[in-house]
């Protein structure tokens, strides 16, 4: 025989704690994502703006150099201007081109001379509006890549280059003589954005882990006092039920003794009072013992003792002891089962489960009704189905009948006893065996309660 202790309703707390953890970590992650978006956007804007400013300064400077050069050499046109006459050495400058007033190429230079045609095509005829700066993406080949006339070897065959292009008109004595275009390589900035994103996302993943861990700790802390209070309340219910049992049994034996007292037989009023008292005390004893079962289940003090049992024999036994009660209500009981049905289970609990379902079936059956228990077994499960031809359960009530103290209105108006705890206990018993209990029912036609329990029981060591 193996015994397993059950934690009972700690499930509810675990679920709540999980939900709290998820909510806390969701909130933390939201802040994290917001932070990343803000940091990334800020850096993006600041870096690009800085490149803008640099390019604008460079263009302004070069325009002044050319204008000064024209003024110094008293030339009114750019034609014949050689690149050696200009000092153009901006950092990351990819190209510069000077055109005359008609837009024809005059002079220029670029880091990739083999791409001049393509690059000039980009700016040819472009008249920028005030402060307008263009951004272009260019696929470049590196076969002839030179920097300062020096050829660079061992570089990739092609790459994507991001260019920022600015243009400015050149004037001589207030007369428009041409344009200067400068292209700046800002690929490194985009490279930086890419790395920044990778670093930020990696940090986010790391912090997400920390956020979940912190949320777990926070939710655990938040749940602490609640679960302690709940634990105390469960202990109170358990203690109260336990303490009530003794006086109730004393009362019951006192009523029995009074019933046997001389003279009571002759006094119909006293007899009736005693009978009522006895039935109420019995009802209360049932309620207290059900409460005690559930309180123990909640507090984890309920134990499950597993042993090999023949479910068929147990069912026959329960039916036999319930037959007089069923017959007095005009209900007949039937059992359909295979030869023997050996399973591992807690004998007392399994029998209690059978009692609850059969007792309900009888309680809610009309006079002349038939209540049947069917047992069966498959490779993995054994099944018990208890069906009746009684009042049935309204579909709205079906999901609630396993709740504590739930009784349908129909049941309340009937004179049948009960306090709405039987099915909660049945569900708990099925649960501690790793099984389930479900109901199929149609109002005024009848109900079938189906319990399905695995043949093999996981036994804790
Ligand atoms: P009770 O002590 O009221 O029978 P239970 O927890 O056993 O408490 O059942 C809860 C409610 O489910 C009952 O009040 C009744 O409305 C409904 N019920 C349970 N079994 C049956 C059945 N066999 N037929 C119809 N209704 C049922």
> Which of residues 76 and 204 earns the better pLDDT score?
204
- pLDDT computed for residue 6 by the predictor: 42
- pLDDT computed for residue 2 by the predictor: 44
% of the chain residues with pLDDT over 70: 87
| pLDDT tier, 153 (very low <50, low <70, confident <90, very high otherwise) | low
Nearest ligand 1 atom, CA 449: 23
- pLDDT computed for residue 69 by the predictor: 80
Mean pLDDT of 340-345: 89
- For residue 4, is pLDDT > 70? no
| CA–CA distance, 184 with 163 (Å, rounded to integer) | 5
Q: Residues 280-322: pLDDT tens digits?
A: 999 899 999 998 888 888 877 677 888 999 999 999 999 999 9
184 pocket-lining for ligand 1 (C-beta < 6 Å): no
- For residue 121, is pLDDT > 70? yes
352 pocket-lining for ligand 1 (C-beta < 6 Å): no
Average model confidence (pLDDT) across the chain: 85
How far does residue 410's CA lie from ligand 1's centre (Å)? 10
Most confident stretch, 249-263, 264-278, 388-402: 388-402
How far does residue 407's CA lie from ligand 1's centre (Å)? 6
- pLDDT computed for residue 91 by the predictor: 58
| CA–CA distance, 397 with 418 (Å, rounded to integer) | 16
Q: Residues 264-284: pLDDT tens digits?
A: 878 888 889 999 999 999 989
- pLDDT computed for residue 94 by the predictor: 86
Q: Residues 157-214: pLDDT tens digits?
A: 677 888 999 998 988 888 888 898 999 888 888 999 999 999 999 998 998 899 899 8
- Phi and psi at 448, nearest 5°, equal -130, 125
2-5 β-sheet, strand order? 2-5, 303-310, 342-345
- pLDDT computed for residue 417 by the predictor: 74
* Minimum CA distance residue for ligand 1 atom 11: 407
393 pocket-lining for ligand 1 (C-beta < 6 Å): yes
- pLDDT computed for residue 413 by the predictor: 59
- pLDDT computed for residue 406 by the predictor: 92
* Minimum CA distance residue for ligand 1 atom 23: 361
| CA–CA distance, 314 with 351 (Å, rounded to integer) | 7
How far does residue 17's CA lie from ligand 1's centre (Å)? 32
- For residue 80, is pLDDT > 70? no
Q: Which of 3-12, 155-164, 197-206, 327-336 has the lowest mean pLDDT?
A: 3-12
What pTM did the predictor assign?
A: 0.59
422 pocket-lining for ligand 1 (C-beta < 6 Å): yes
190 pocket-lining for ligand 1 (C-beta < 6 Å): no
100 pocket-lining for ligand 1 (C-beta < 6 Å): no
For a mutational test of ligand 1's pocket, the pick from 352, 407, 414, 441, i.e. the residue with the most ligand atoms closer than 8 A to its C-beta, is 407
How far does residue 398's CA lie from ligand 1's centre (Å)? 10
Nearest ligand 1 atom, CA 408: 16
Question: Max Cα separation, the chain?
Answer: 146
Q: Residues 98-120: pLDDT tens digits?
A: 888 888 888 888 888 888 888 88
CA-CA distances (angstroms) from residue 28 to 22, 33, 102, 197, 201?
10, 9, 61, 19, 15
- Phi and psi at 374, nearest 5°, equal -115, 130
CA 119 to chain centre: 54
- pLDDT computed for residue 317 by the predictor: 95
* Minimum CA distance residue for ligand 1 atom 16: 408
Which residues, other chains included, contact 106 with Cβ-Cβ below 8 Å and sequence gap of 6+? 78, 79, 80, 81, 98, 99, 100, 178
343 pocket-lining for ligand 1 (C-beta < 6 Å): no
428, 402 contact by CB (below 8 A): no
- For residue 90, is pLDDT > 80? no
420 pocket-lining for ligand 1 (C-beta < 6 Å): yes
Mean pLDDT of 410-424: 77
């Amino acid at each position: 025989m193996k015994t397993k202790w059950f934690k009972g309703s700690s499930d509810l707390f675990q679920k709540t704690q999980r939900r709290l953890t998820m909510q806390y970590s969701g909130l933390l992650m939201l802040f994290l994502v917001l932070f990343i978006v803000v940091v990334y956007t800020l850096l993006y804007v600041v870096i690009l703006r800085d490149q803008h400013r640099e390019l604008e300064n460079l263009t302004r400077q070069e325009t002044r150099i050319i204008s000064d050069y024209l003024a110094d050499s008293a030339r009114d046109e750019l034609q014949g201007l050689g690149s050696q006459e200009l000092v153009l050495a901006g950092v990351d400058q990819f190209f510069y081109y000077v055109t005359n007033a008609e837009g024809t190429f005059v002079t220029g230079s670029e880091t990739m001379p083999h791409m001049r045609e393509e690059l000039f095509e980009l700016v040819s005829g472009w008249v920028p509006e005030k402060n307008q700066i263009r951004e272009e993406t260019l696929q470049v080949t590196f076969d002839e890549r030179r920097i300062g006339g020096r050829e660079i070897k061992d570089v990739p065959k092609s790459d994507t280059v991001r260019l920022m292009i600015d243009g400015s008109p050149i004037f001589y004595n207030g007369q428009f003589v041409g344009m200067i275009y400068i292209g700046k390589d800002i690929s490194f900035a985009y490279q930086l954005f890419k790395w920044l994103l990778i670093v930020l996302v990696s940090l986010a993943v790391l912090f997400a882990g920390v956020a979940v861990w912190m949320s777990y700790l926070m939710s655990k802390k938040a749940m602490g006092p609640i679960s302690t209070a709940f634990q105390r309340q469960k202990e109170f219910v358990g203690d109260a039920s336990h303490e009530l049992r003794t006086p109730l049994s004393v009362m019951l034996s006192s009523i029995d003794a009074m019933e046997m007292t001389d003279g009571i037989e002759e006094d119909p009023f006293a007899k009736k009072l005693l009978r009522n008292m006895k039935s109420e005390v019995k009802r209360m004893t049932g309620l207290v013992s059900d409460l005690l079962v559930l309180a123990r289940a909640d507090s984890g003090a309920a134990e499950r003792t597993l042993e090999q049992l023949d479910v068929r024999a147990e069912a026959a036994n329960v039916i036999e002891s319930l037959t007089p009660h069923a017959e007095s209500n005009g209900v007949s009981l039937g059992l359909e089962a295979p030869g023997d049905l050996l399973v591992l289970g807690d004998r007392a609990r399994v029998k209690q489960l059978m009692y609850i379902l059969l007792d309900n079936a009888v309680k809610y059956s009309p006079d002349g009704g038939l209540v049947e228990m069917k047992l069966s077994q498959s490779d993995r499960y054994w099944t018990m189905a208890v069906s009746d031809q009684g009042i049935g359960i309204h579909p709205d009530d079906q999901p609630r009948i396993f709740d504590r103290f739930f009784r349908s209105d129909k049941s309340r108006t009937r004179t049948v006893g009960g306090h709405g705890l039987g099915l909660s206990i049945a569900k708990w018993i099925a649960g501690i065996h790793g099984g389930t209990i479900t109901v199929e029912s149609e109002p005024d036609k009848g109900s079938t309660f189906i319990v399905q329990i695995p043949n093999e029981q996981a036994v804790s060591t």
